[in-house]
Each structure stands twice: as structure tokens, then as C-alpha cells.
Amino acid sequence: MSTVTRSVRLTGWGRTEPTVADVAEPASADEVAALVKGVAGGGVIARGLGRSYNNAAQNDGGLVVSTAAMRDVLSFDPDTGVVSCEAGVSLEQLMIRLLPAGWFVPVSPGTRQVTVGGAIGADVHGKNHHAAGSFARHVLSFDLLTARGDVRTVTPESDPDLFWGTAGGMGLTGIILRATVRLKRVETSRLVVDTVRTANIDDTMEHLSSTDEDYDYTVAWTDCLATRGALGRSVITSGNFATTREIRFKDRVKPLEFKASALAGAPPVFASGLINARTVALLNEAWFRKAPRRRTGEIQTIGKFFHPLDGISNWNRVYGPAGFRQYQYVVPFASADVVRRSLERISALRAPSFVTVLKRFGPGDPGMLSFPMSGWTLALDFPARTPWLGPLLAELDEMVLEAGGARGSRPSGSVQLRLVPPPGPVMAEPVTVRPASAAARQAPRRPPDSNEVTRDDCVIMGLGRAIVHVLTIATFAATAGASRVAVFVIWKDPMSYRTPHPSRSWDRAYCGAASRRLRPAPASQHLNDLGCDEARRRSQVAVAVPDGDEAFGCRLVIPPDV
Ligand SMILES: Cc1cc2nc3c(=O)[nH]c(=O)nc-3n(C[C@H](O)[C@H](O)[C@H](O)COP(=O)(O)OP(=O)(O)OC[C@H]3O[C@@H](n4cnc5c(N)ncnc54)[C@H](O)[C@@H]3O)c2cc1C
């Protein structure tokens, strides 16, 4: 029996950029394979629980394979903590099933409502990155349905390129059907937590740096609107799993008990604008004052320590229909001043990040597109309609890239991403990603079979000339009937071109596309934001993010077969 598909309007967790796709919920690997085999031009992408922020698991006009019905734990070894499961099993399900046996997920993001497939696809990190790395480090193998329609069992040893291209590869190399993961042994399901309130950013960073070794899990919640001497004041919570002797006597009867607490739901309708500079300043003040100056040895549950936001399902609705934009960057430890400068800009512009989190990452894993690398990481959630948000994020991009960091779950600006035309219906297999290191730059450019675009392809020009060029190219593309010609207009340094309301115009103006069949690209502040979904949608459009300080870049991407 063929799997039913239905047309669904999808967004990521931030609820921005909705698109419509055919969504199927196959219940087995065979059904997934049949779906992929029969897929037409729009391609296919996997979707877990849709907890990623931007448009990672959407595929406008194409097919989205939800793994919601693939939720079986296939095998588990209670001695080694090695579990094999289908890709749609959530981290919460693993906790419910395996905590009673004394095993916890090796890495947990700030929500446990993510699937194992999604955790590998985004190579998620948690509060323990400095100690345990990101999720893929604990994955022993996975079964991947590739573009050719075959299922490959991939391990880091058997096929390191495919393994590390898939880990953090955002679903671009195929659909993960099953995975085998090594869990972490715990004696109880409670944590011993220390809390400290810090006065400012120096204090916060000093405390985080000096306690790295003491805790497996650490995070600082930071007041992004605090100014002057209080800039970067934070509440730092750090913890380790408790031993049986450390928990309360009454809890020792069931030391590994885990209650996936019933979630309260947020009302369906919130007005846009509820989260604004005033309300966030008030909430920050209350949160900061409520926290103890210093408290040690508090026993907390997994839910309270790791997933406080899971307490309310659909909490993303509080941002109203316009949704919110998550922005996270990492910069090397030597560039700690970027954290200070970015907080200064955010508080000066009164940009209300509802959740602002500062952490220290340990060394990144070999995932080609994995986000974490050694350094400071700041995560921010802004209402999508925050005034000046576009220019602010572009300015943060500049600071981060200049410092040799990375932002979003994408690599730094000097990384090029090449999508080779796929042999089968899945859109991007294999993905080749290489940093534009000195060696890479010297490598032969433009291999005949690729549509790779590099920085050198950018034409740097003034605005007037650029407009003429773009119009010429658009006219040419339209008259030639090209179906896969895209022109990207990249404004690399918007802050130097101020207008009275830059955020509004920039949001629309950064990216334009010209072609008979392509619709204009969605609002985007930066070429980075086009990301995987756009690249996939345009099938053969290569995306390269230029580094350096170009003011304006215009590029034409014509796949070889046009
Ligand atoms: C409250 C909250 C807190 C968060 N905290 C963190 C955090 O601390 N650290 C962190 O790293 N992330 C964090 N995230 C982001 C989240 O962990 C990731 O985006 C995760 O990938 C979501 O998993 P998902 O199952 O919902 O996948 P989706 O959002 O549905 O998909 C994510 C990506 O994985 C791909 N994918 C999904 N399933 C498969 C599959 N079977 N095969 C191949 N590719 C697949 C998709 O194509 C997509 O590109 C947080 C999100 C929320 C909402």
C-alpha cells in the first residue's frame, strides 16, 4: 500500500518563512524507500519533530518525509548502554525507556522533543559540549537511504566522508532510517546543581572559564538588555549527575525515576509585540533577582535542569504570528571581546532576546557542517519583527566572521558548499564541503563537472552598476527560458548604507532571483539565510558565502546543463 501524503504548511520552530510541501509519514524503511523512488522534481527532505529554528526541514513544493511513525527502539544492551532505534525515536522516548536502566542520552539540547535523526542531522550540542562534544561523537553507526535509493550502514570508520557529511549535514545526504548510539551511564535521574549570579560579562566569563573542569554541564543565562557596569550579567547554573548518596533519602527508593511531565499548552493566539524590549527587560530583572547570589548542592530533576522550556508546549507562540529568529554564533576563545561587543550592540539597540544563553564549547567534531568549535558561543532568540534586526544580525555576522568564528548551524563565511547534481531523487548526495583554507584556495578551481561558486566569482561593484547588471541578467534569464538560473544579490555590509528604516528594506532586498520558473526568494537578511532549503529547492544552485569585506557582490550561477 502506498503511503498517503498530504499538503501541509510547514515552518520551523521559529514560525518564520512558512512553505507548503507534501508530507508523508511512512512507518517503515521500505515505505521511505518507495516514497523516495517515486519522488518527482521537487526533491525530498527528512523531518523529525520540527524543532529546528529556521527552514531546515521544509522543502517548499517538494516532499517532506516525516519520521514521526518510525519510533521503535530496536535493541538495547543494558551492560554497554548501546541502543539501536529508528530515526523518529525522540530523546524523550529514550529517557522514558532507558533511564530506569541507568542510561541517559549522551548529549541533550535544550529540548528533549527532538528525534535521533534530527539530533544527527543537526549534530546537536548540549550544556556538556566542553566535556562530551556534540551528538554525532556518540553515534556508532546509522543506516542511510541515499539518493541512489540504496541503504548504507555508515560508521565513522567505514565511510568517514559520508558519516561526517551526514552528521550536521541537515538531511542533505539522504534519510537516516536507524541509528546506533552509545548512551551515558548515570546512577540517578537527578543533578547536583550550583547556581551563581554574576555582576557583568567579565565576571560571567571568568566564572565559566574557571569552572569548566568542575562540571559536566554548564550554561549561563544572560541579561541581553543590561547596560554599563551590569552588561552581560548572568545566572550560571552548573551541574553533574548525582550519585544515589547525594539525593534525598525519600528519592532513593526510585533513584532513576523520570517523569516526562505533562506539558501545559500555550494559548493558540498571542499578539505580535508581546515580547518586546520592555517586557523582556522586566522578565530579565525578575529572573535575575529571583536567582540566588550563590547556591550549591541543589538537587534538580532532568526536566528542570535541561529542558525548562519543555514545561510549556508551543511556547514559541508567545512571539505571536510573526514568530522569532534564533541566532547563535561561536568565536574562538581568543576573541572573547566579540561577546562583549555584541552584547553592547544588542543592549544599545534594545533588541529583546527572550532567551540569551552563553556557553563554552570544547573542540568540534569532524562533522563537515557541524556548528560547534572550540570557543565562546552565544545564542539569542529575537522576535522576528524586532526593529533593526536585519542590520544588527549582519553586524554580528561581520564581527563573528572577522574573528574566525561561525554562526547558525552553518560554517564560517570562508567555507564553500558544493551541491553536486544528484543521481537520484534525493537532492544532495554527495555533499562536498571544504573550507577555503590556503590549500583549498590553491586547489584547481571549477572542475568541469561542478557548479561550484567561489569568492572569486563575485563581482564587486557599486550599487548603480550592480542594479544594471542584475536587470540585464534577469532579462537574459527570462528570455533564454532558463529554469535554473538564479541571481543572488548580497549586501555584505548593510550598516554602512543606512536608511531611515533599514531593517524593513534590507529584509526584502538582500536576495533576488530571476527565472521563469523560480519565484523570488523569501525575505532573507544574508545569503547565509538561504541555507539548505533554498539550495535544495533550486536543485542545482551552488551557494558560496564570500568572506572579506565586499560591500556588494553579484553572482550568476548557471548549472552546466543549462
Ligand atoms: C527549545 C529548544 C532548545 C534547543 N536547544 C538546542 C541546543 O541546546 N543545542 C542544539 O544543538 N540545538 C538546540 N535546539 C535545536 C534542535 O535541537 C535541533 O534543531 C534538532 O535538529 C531538532 O530535531 P528534530 O527532530 O525536531 O529535527 P527537525 O527540526 O525536523 O530537522 C532538523 C534537521 O535534521 C534533518 N533530519 C531530521 N530527521 C532526519 C533523518 N531521519 N535523516 C536525515 N536528516 C534528518 C532535517 O532534514 C533538518 O535538516 C533547540 C530547539 C528548541 C526548540
Measured from the Cα of 49, ligand 1's closest atom is 26
Measured from the Cα of 409, ligand 1's closest atom is 11
Cα–ligand 1 centroid distance for 33 (angstroms): 22
pLDDT at position 450 is 29
Q: Which of 51, 125, 172 to mutate to test the pocket of ligand 1 (most atoms within 8 A of CB)?
A: 51
Topology of the domain covering 5-66: 3.30.43
CATH class of 190-433: alpha beta
Q: Which of 47, 92, 135, 145 to mutate to test the pocket of ligand 1 (most atoms within 8 A of CB)?
A: 47
Q: Are strands 415-419 and 294-301 parallel, antiparallel or unpaired?
A: unpaired
| Segment (H or E) for 177 | strand 175-182
pLDDT at position 409 is 36
Please name the residue whose Cα sits nearest to atom 19 of ligand 1: 52
- Comparing 5-66 with 73-185, is the CATH topology the same? no
Cα–ligand 1 centroid distance for 198 (angstroms): 31
Burial class (CB in 10 A: 0-12, 13-18, 19+), 84: buried
What amino acid occupies position 425? Answer: P
**Separation CA 74–CA 177 (nearest Å):** 12
Per-run averaged pLDDT (10 residues), the chain, 562 residues = 86 92 95 88 90 90 94 98 98 97 98 97 97 98 90 96 92 94 98 98 98 97 97 98 96 93 65 84 94 96 94 86 92 96 96 96 91 95 90 90 71 30 30 32 31 34 56 57 43 30 27 27 32 34 27 28 26
Cα–ligand 1 centroid distance for 52 (angstroms): 4
**Separation CA 534–CA 536 (nearest Å):** 5
| 134 in Cβ contact with 125 (< 8 Å) | yes
Cα–ligand 1 centroid distance for 427 (angstroms): 19
327 DSSP β-pair partners: 380
| Segment (H or E) for 190 | strand 190-198
Ligand 1 contact via 122 beta carbon (within 6 Å): yes
Cα–ligand 1 centroid distance for 114 (angstroms): 6
* Domains of the chain, residue spans: 5-66, 73-185, 190-433, 516-562
SS3 for 310-329 is HHEECHHHHHCCCCEEEEEE
Please tell me whether residue 7 adopts helix, strand or coil conformation: strand
Topology of the domain covering 73-185: 3.30.465
